[in-house]
Amino acid sequence: MNLRVKHWIYGIFCLLVAIIAIGPELHAASNTHPEKATVESQVKEKKLNNNNNTSHMRTPIDWHKSSETIPYPDLSKVKDFWIKVDLKNNRTYLYDGSKIIYTMYSTGGIYKKDPKTGEMKSATPTGTFYAQQERGDSFFNQSLKEGANYYVSWKNHGEYLFHSVPTKADGKYNEEEAAKLGKTQGSHGCIRLSIPDAQWMEQNLPVGTKIEIVG
């Protein structure tokens, strides 16, 4: 056997050894699916984003508890305090200037069709109003057969209020109506809040605070 043939046989032998050595790695690589890896990465990133979510809203909504899991704002440290009520989205926002500092689940007035314009209009008036001095721990409207706790007036000195979810004649909370909090409209025109949120409003809302209500 000449030298050239020997070199050729040796080269083939080395190639076979190399293939046998890297075979398992090639097999593993062939089972890797780039699309699957990308999806798994996206799912992992989504989980991380969810874990880093800065929202403190309480879920599910519980009308017995505060809307957020963090303390209420200290108004002595708020420079430009005002309130925005979003009737359609069932939220009441506490602001310091342009920054939302607390969000409350809320329920505003039922929407009915305006006979003049044909538009759906809330029983809650929209516009700019200011917190008034009338406030208290409870009331009951005999004509409506409905009451509430922890109220503070923002229009017509006792006609339109922030207050808790409604109570019945016996003073117990109307659980069917309370379940609407933060989900849909349902009041006769007032803004319903959870029990602790309403109590905070009664005790802390300064007279003259600007309140913007949008439909």
Catalytic residue IDs: 163, 190
- Tokens for 120? 């759906």
The DSSP line for 128-153 is EEE--S-EEEEEEETTTTEEEEEEEE
The whole-angstrom separation of Cα 68 and Cα 105 is: 9
The DSSP line for 72-96 is PP-GGG-SSEEEEEETTTTEEEEEE
